[in-house]
Structure 1
């Protein structure tokens, strides 16, 4: 009999956690394991990339609980008055305590699944962790935290009650491991490293697919992949583009990802007359042709756990400019495999300009990345070890 594994995730939009989940599901040995996916909101541009052998568990009431006031209206129309009132209260409670709101959301979600699993893996944390512990049947249960906990401690009062109830806690970089151990010293023996899986074969295959070239001919082609938000440093990037233009450097910068505040960023672009220098492309299920075709990959984020987009850019051997967030040195050594700069528009512009003007430095990065391509699909063994 195949061992049964259930993964939990909130959605499959283009964020790093979702991309990592899809890579994991495509890597796991589905001939040996019966793999299921519990998904709160069964949609997203990556949903089509789930292998057909993976069984999907979803429930419209759970989806509605994740949809704010729109979901509340749906619950009311369906006659789910208890869930309607509970979710309405939970939404207001979020303003007071995310931890208590997360626990209430987990309590409101109905239990769905298919009997007992050999292993249940909560891939999101927070409310999915509390739901897994309280309502799902599994011989072993593990959870993931995909970021630097010191930058995202909002659920601490709940996590400290639930982390003791799982068999293992995974996070995605050495720095994130150390931070989790500092916050949860009593659980230190349970805290382990499991990197986000990035498959070179999958990335390189998808990078060969056709795409609509967004760049203006003759300009230096820059690309950034990820949500367009201040958290990801998008405001710095737009100002950096302005600085480069003022210096007479012709760049055309493509941003691939959902735009958090379209009117605000459009206003910034218009204010600095950057309509011919910046393209906000929105969401795509396949950003890899854009990365492959670009001259320079820029990642101006304020903080990350361990960025999948950066791992993908490294696999495609792009010269990279990245800001000095807390975990950056888990992936980069400045001047060796990328240019690490400070978190401000001038520093970002300076690093980009240096790469544009210094062909030897670009070739150095490309050569290093070609010689040190990492295939970390063996990280899946850490899941197997929990169940075999």
Structure 2
């Protein structure tokens, strides 16, 4: 018995696209999807070509509330809507950032789900969605060898990350979009990059890399040469670029820097919108914004706070964010007796009042590409203590606009103590960060040149000239 599902495809001038029916026929452990596109798609595509509009597709893994997703939204806002028509596909149809997609962007997901990706209910729902993708066109069976090799690779590296094991299956298990695009942008590593490389028809293909690629646990075997299929690879910091090229040295000519786009004025406006902290603490407030993940080193932060309290500092450490290791962190907080002082506030839609009200912003990640959270704290003129890792080193000049520390309990304690004990140093950092110019939209000209030269590049590629 077939089961009717709905999916969205471009139609007319609607932001959310006209629905057609898809029939899903289940056969035991497999599934076949038969899609039916609306004839109006072809009409619209012809109209766009006549108007000279360029069609650009963004692909991302999820729409969860995280730095890359926020950066993508700002990039979309920066596009010239008279020259470009934008589309968005999220491989996992869930995430709070669906609510912030600009109205000129057409979302290709059916019934975008703007709930969190981090709750237990969300993980169960996402697990069910991934299970379906496993059997679409034999995605799981095609990738079983690679899955085994990647599992072995991660075991040897000392940490198994399930998302990196599954992104290839998710990509191959996602229905192809039966359209041609002038440009396709994979805005995250993993599934989005695989999907754009292998399952999208576009004249120009681009990928963004937001992390320290080597430390994040990716490998060429896992990627299956997807980056060789890109015309341009954008890195968000020079150190992120160096890390990527350690794995892919042959792709150096394809790589360029493209800094995160942030709206400083909007951040300042939102910081005034409401109150942040609601407790009665009148001591030092430390704040970190970021998902609860191994990368962010909260396990070290908890021990650091315990040591600061032992030394008599009237300090509380607040965390805005949620994630899969929350239970582990709650147990560690209990074990160290800091339940009243290390406070997991969860994810919030507007973190800026909290950033504005904190005394010191702390970001002691194990690795970064370039931290949007640090940039947001700088916009709001905060004193910052950060780990001396990839990305952070390009944002913080030690002793000038923040303190960089090696990621050990002893060094982090020392760095925070220094800023607490020296009000003049704190004011120096605050003033320096207030003076930073965050105008990064000049990167748009580079992007426009790539997209508007896409026809010539596409012709050369297929005639053997590239």
Q: What TM-score, normalized to structure 2?
A: 0.75
Residues 16-55 of structure 1: matches in 2 within 5 Å?
16-55=67-106
3-state secondary structure, aligned to 2:339: coil
Find the aligned partners of 2:55 and 2:232 in 1 and give their Cα distance: 17
Shift of the 85–332 alpha-carbon distance from structure 1 to 2, 3 Å rule, reads: closer
Select 2:357's aligned residue among 293, 300, 312: 293
3-state secondary structure, aligned to 1:179: helix
Deviation at 1:68, TM superposition (A): 6.1
Deviation at 1:44, TM superposition (A): 1.5
Contact 2:321/2:345 (CA < 8 Å) preserved in 1?
Answer: yes
Q: Are 1:70 and 2:148 counterparts?
A: no
Contact 1:232/1:302 (CA < 8 Å) preserved in 2?
Answer: yes
2:372 is aligned to 308
Deviation at 1:90, TM superposition (A): 8.6
Shift of the 101–261 alpha-carbon distance from structure 1 to 2, 3 Å rule, reads: closer
1:109 is aligned to 174
Q: Deviations over 1:273-317 (max 9, x none)?
A: 222212101112221111111111000111101111011111111
Contact 1:72/1:88 (CA < 8 Å) preserved in 2?
Answer: no
Which structure's relative contact order is higher, taking Cα pairs within 8 Å and 6+ residues apart? 1
The more displaced of 210-219 and 277-286 is 210-219
Select 2:334's aligned residue among 270, 284, 287: 270
Q: What TM-score, normalized to structure 1?
A: 0.89
Deviation at 1:333, TM superposition (A): 0.9
2:107 is aligned to 56
Deviation at 1:112, TM superposition (A): 2.0
Instruction: Please tell me the root mean square deviation across aligned C-alpha atoms, in Å.
Output: 2.9
Find the aligned partners of 1:29 and 1:280 in 2 and give their Cα distance: 40
Deviation at 1:328, TM superposition (A): 2.3
Shift of the 270–104 alpha-carbon distance from structure 1 to 2, 3 Å rule, reads: closer
Select 2:391's aligned residue among 313, 327, 345: 327
The more displaced of 356-365 and 151-160 is 151-160
Shift of the 250–97 alpha-carbon distance from structure 1 to 2, 3 Å rule, reads: same
3-state secondary structure, aligned to 2:430: helix
3-state secondary structure, aligned to 2:442: helix
2:32 is aligned to none
Shift of the 364–210 alpha-carbon distance from structure 1 to 2, 3 Å rule, reads: same
Find the aligned partners of 1:130 and 1:229 in 2 and give their Cα distance: 23
3-state secondary structure, aligned to 2:96: coil
The more displaced of 373-382 and 95-104 is 95-104
Shift of the 190–84 alpha-carbon distance from structure 1 to 2, 3 Å rule, reads: closer
Any stretches of 5+ residues in structure 1 without a counterpart?
none
1:8 is aligned to 59
Find the aligned partners of 1:228 and 1:65 in 2 and give their Cα distance: 14
Over alpha carbons, which structure has the higher Rg?
2
3-state secondary structure, aligned to 1:377: coil
Q: Are 1:144 and 2:208 counterparts?
A: yes
Deviation at 1:156, TM superposition (A): 1.4
Any stretches of 5+ residues in structure 2 without a counterpart?
1-50, 112-116, 155-163, 453-466
Find the aligned partners of 1:308 and 1:87 in 2 and give their Cα distance: 37
1:386 is aligned to 450
Residues 1-388 of structure 1: matches in 2 within 5 Å?
1=51, 2-58=53-109, 69-71=127-129, 86=141, 93=148, 95-96=151-152, 102-112=167-177, 115-159=179-223, 161-388=225-452
Q: Deviations over 1:90-113 (max 9, x none)?
A: 996453468886544433322025
Contact 2:172/2:195 (CA < 8 Å) preserved in 1?
Answer: yes
